[in-house]
Amino acid sequence: MNRLPLEITINGEPHSPAVEPNRTLLELLRDDLHLTGAKEGCGEGVCGSCTVLMDGNPVRSCLTLALEADGSHITTVEGLAQGSELDPLQQSFIDHGAVQCGFCTSGMLMTAKGLLLRDPHAGTGEIKRALSGHICRCTGYTKITEAVEAEVTRSKKER
Amino acid sequence: MRLPAFAYELPRDLDEALELLKTYGPECKILAGGTDLLVRMKQGLTKPAHLISLKALPELATIQESGGLLRIGAAVRLADILTYQPILDRQPGLYEAVTAIGAPSIQHFRGTIGGNLCQDNRCQFYDQSNYFRGARQTCNKAGGKTCFAWEGGSDRCHSICQSDAAPVMIAMDAQVLVQSKRGVRNLPLAELYSGVGERPLTLSDDEMLIEIQVPDSGSGTGTAFAKLAYRSAIDYAVVSAGALVRVEDNRIVQANLVIGAVSRAPLKISGVDEILKSRPVGDQQVLDEAGKVAMNTAGAFIANNVAQPKDYRMQMVSVMAKRALKRALERALSGSRTMEEK
């Protein structure tokens, strides 16, 4: 198959790989760039574990062609931390025990991050609604919601 | 899961896109958000040789208001509809329906309104992996000669239209603009649906949905959408209902009810208009009667195409119909047309 050129910024770094049309963004991230934070769960857009931010908005990387992401800025879970300093949202997940087996965590983090970028004052309803497309088979939803709520409260205090 | 191979086409304007559609016809599919198409390609349900991306056609992704019409481009993302204030203010039924599609992080930032309306029909025996389907004969929709959703089999496909946006938009008398190299067609949204399970849309192979036009229904009109699903997100409807009710001088002068997720095309319940118009606004029984009519009409179409039992779905048609009509009527009477704060 013909490979086509692609210009994409991932976690702030520009990349210009040549990709096959049927390469998904998830395959590009995991298999080509070895950014394995985004997981493949269902592969059909149902479970949420492959979620990354595309220009600040959560998208399912398993249902996004790499070519459709041409020209966009992608943030994966690897791009949240600043050096060795975790993103406050990541820290909040740890502090609230919102991580169990960890498979859904990167997707949950990215969607929550996307929500807080759009609406830093999101209430419980909005948080639950935003995360409603994510499945946690450890069923740790309460802790995850609490972790995001706590981050909203913390960032309010800081401002 | 790997996607099968295809050629990726990136037209730079609408004319180029229509030219590609004309050239490749049945060999190609239009790729908008991909949240429906790519899943079906992964499952081996469709194998287009070419995908025509709408990525470089921003003209299809705008919302405009002109001449009493809300004109929504086919490639407008669901998230953009939800943040468009006039829709939230004046078309609460449409807002409710779009909210109900998929889940925010799946569909809303990639999925488009045109994609929701043009999604393929679904059936629990068809929308499955190759492996699952391999255990049975090939059904009508997959090119075979049987139907597992219809008791005793059938020579027709009994898949259902699972668009959440379609019922309420049909109730709102929306029109669609369809274009090809041969020209432009304007038709009621209801006529976009063929009622044929194997090929649910009336679009020709070289045609493309361009725009959806929703009339601004004016004061005294209320719209609503009700959906029954087991989960509040990432779930298809068991039964859904879209309604529009128009009130003048405290009398109902128009009532449209469209039931979704029960038949091959969104099902317009024609008897409801007569029933509601004939009676005073406050009459509670009239909604029960309308619900019964909806249930009886839908009853002829309901097949075993989703996981829930047929009898249950039939009864739920009545409930969803009443919910949608009641809320639409309340909104029509309140006159403000705005959505109650959630």
pLDDT tens digits for chain B (342 residues)?
899 999 999 999 999 999 999 999 999 999 999 999 999 999 999 999 999 999 999 999 999 999 899 999 999 999 999 999 999 989 999 999 999 998 887 778 899 999 999 999 999 999 999 999 999 999 999 999 999 999 999 999 999 999 999 999 999 999 999 999 999 999 999 999 999 999 999 999 999 999 999 998 788 999 999 999 988 888 899 999 999 999 998 899 999 999 999 999 999 999 999 999 988 888 889 999 999 999 999 999 999 999 999 999 999 999 999 999 999 999 999 874 444 443
Which pLDDT does position B179 carry in this prediction? 98
Query: Which residues of chain B neighbour A20 with C-beta distances below 8 Å?
Result: 5
Domain boundary among B28, B59, B90: B59
Number of Cβ within a 10 Å radius of residue B88: 15
User: What residue in A sits closest to B231 (Cα-Cα)?
Assistant: A132
Q: B294: closest CA among B264, B253, B327, B263?
A: B263
Specify whether the backbone of B258 is left (phi greater than 0), alpha (psi in -120 to 50) or beta: beta
- Do both B218 and B86 map to the same domain? yes
Residue B148 within any structural domain of the chain? no
In CATH terms, A4-79 corresponds, of 3.40.190.10, 3.30.1330.10, 3.40.50.10490, 3.10.20.30, to: 3.10.20.30
The residue-averaged pLDDT of A40-66 equals: 95
B178 with B185: CB under 8 angstroms? yes
- Do both B95 and B186 map to the same domain? yes
**Is the CB of B233 inside 8 Å of chain A's CB atoms?**
yes
Which residue ranges does chain A devote to CATH 3.10.20.30?
Answer: 4-79
Tokens 């003209």 map to which residue? B59
DSSP B192-253: GB-S-TTS-B---TT-EEEEEEEE---TTEEEEEEEE-SSSSS---SEEEEEEEEEETTEEE
DSSP A144-156: HHHHHHHHHHHHH
Between CA B279 and CA B4 the distance in angstroms is: 57
- Do both B22 and B68 map to the same domain? no
Q: Is the pTM of this model over 0.80?
A: yes
**Is the CB of A12 inside 8 Å of chain B's CB atoms?**
no
**Is the CB of B342 inside 8 Å of chain A's CB atoms?**
yes
β-strands A4-5, A18-19: how paired?
Answer: antiparallel
A48 with A23: CB under 8 angstroms? no
Cβ distance B106 to A1 less than 8 Å, yes or no, reads no
CATH number for the domain that contains residue B32: 3.30.43.10
Residue B315 within any structural domain of the chain? yes
B28 with B208: CB under 8 angstroms? no
Which pLDDT does position B342 carry in this prediction? 38
Does CATH place domain A88-158 in 3.40.50.300? Answer: no
Between CA A30 and CA B315 the distance in angstroms is: 47
Q: B10: closest CA among A2, A17, A55, A40?
A: A2
Query: Which residues of chain B neighbour A68 with C-beta distances below 8 Å?
Result: 31, 34, 53, 55
Q: B256: closest CA among B266, B270, B267?
A: B270
**Is the CB of B196 inside 8 Å of chain A's CB atoms?**
no
- How far does B324 lie from chain A, in Å, by closest CA? 22
- How far does B202 lie from chain A, in Å, by closest CA? 27
- Do both B248 and B208 map to the same domain? yes
- Dig out the tokens for A120 from the structure: 């830093």
- Do both B255 and B217 map to the same domain? yes
Query: Which residues of chain B neighbour A59 with C-beta distances below 8 Å?
Result: 105, 109-110
Q: How is the beta sheet containing A13-15 ordered, strand by strand?
A: A13-15, A8-10, A73-75, A51-54, A57-60
- How far does A158 lie from chain B, in Å, by closest CA? 27
**Is the CB of A124 inside 8 Å of chain B's CB atoms?**
no
**Is the CB of B82 inside 8 Å of chain A's CB atoms?**
no
Whether ipTM > 0.90 holds is: yes
Q: In chain B, which residue ranges form alpha helices assigned H by DSSP? A: 14-24, 37-42, 78-82, 85-90, 92-99, 113-118, 130-133, 165-171, 271-277, 285-299, 310-334
**Is the CB of B104 inside 8 Å of chain A's CB atoms?**
yes
CATH number for the domain that contains residue B323: 3.30.465.10
Q: A31: closest CA among A46, A20, A42?
A: A20
Residue B151 within any structural domain of the chain? no
Between CA B237 and CA B306 the distance in angstroms is: 9
- How far does B55 lie from chain A, in Å, by closest CA? 7
Between CA B108 and CA B129 the distance in angstroms is: 25
Which pLDDT does position B336 carry in this prediction? 44
Distances (CA, A) of B138 to B36, B142, B303: 21, 6, 18
- Do both B50 and B172 map to the same domain? no
Residue B129 within any structural domain of the chain? no
Domain count of the fold of chain B = 2
**Is the CB of A62 inside 8 Å of chain B's CB atoms?**
yes
Confidence of residue A23 (pLDDT cuts 50, 70, 90): very high
- Do both B50 and B175 map to the same domain? no
User: What residue in B sits closest to A54 (Cα-Cα)?
Assistant: B109
- Dig out the tokens for B62 from the structure: 């705008």
- Do both B86 and B211 map to the same domain? yes
Domain boundaries, position B185: 61-118+160-333
Query: Which residues of chain A neighbour B42 with C-beta distances below 8 Å?
Result: 43-44
Between CA B119 and CA B117 the distance in angstroms is: 6
Considering only the beta carbons, identify the residue of A22, A46, A129 that sits closest to B234.
A46
Strand partners of residue B257: B243
- Do both B295 and B214 map to the same domain? yes
Residue B105 within any structural domain of the chain? yes
- Dig out the tokens for B264 from the structure: 């091959």
Between CA A134 and CA A131 the distance in angstroms is: 6
- Dig out the tokens for A145 from the structure: 């919601």
Domain boundary among B36, B59, B82: B59
- Do both B3 and B111 map to the same domain? no
Query: Which residues of chain B neighbour A148 with C-beta distances below 8 Å?
Result: none
Considering only the beta carbons, identify the residue of B8, B35, B79 that sits closest to A63.
B35
- Dig out the tokens for B120 from the structure: 């393929």
DSSP H or E run through A118: helix A105-118
Between CA A71 and CA B58 the distance in angstroms is: 15
Which residue ranges does chain A devote to CATH 1.10.150.120?
Answer: 88-158
- Do both B52 and B198 map to the same domain? no
**Is the CB of A57 inside 8 Å of chain B's CB atoms?**
yes
Cβ distance B104 to A51 less than 8 Å, yes or no, reads no
Cβ distance A68 to B55 less than 8 Å, yes or no, reads yes
Cβ distance A21 to B51 less than 8 Å, yes or no, reads yes
Which pLDDT does position A1 carry in this prediction? 67
Residue B140 within any structural domain of the chain? no
- Do both B7 and B91 map to the same domain? no
Between CA B325 and CA B172 the distance in angstroms is: 13
